[in-house]
Amino acid sequence: MARVVSSKSFLWTQPQRKWLERIAKQIKKEGVVDHDSLQAGAFASAGGFGTINKSFSGRLPELLETLHSEIWNDAA
């Protein structure tokens, strides 16, 4: 997560950083975050995938792909 947050590919706003913190906590808890997990629990009560994606200007799928790639790189 630290590499993604510090990446030059994304310039994070404060609301995006808050979402990243919440997503990081979910990854630590469940090991993965995907569309379904962002539609459930605390994420659902905050608007779910659609609201989060809007916060990331429609780039949430790209962000999740990057996060998963980093997780698998660390595992390898």
Q: What is the DSSP letter of 36?
A: T
> pTM score, two decimals?
0.81
2-49 pLDDT, tens digit per residue, is 777 776 566 788 899 899 989 988 888 888 789 999 999 889 999 999
Predicted local distance difference test score (pLDDT) of residue 10:
65
- Ramachandran assignment for 57, one of left (phi > 0), alpha (psi -120 to 50 degrees), beta (any other): left
Predicted local distance difference test score (pLDDT) of residue 66:
87
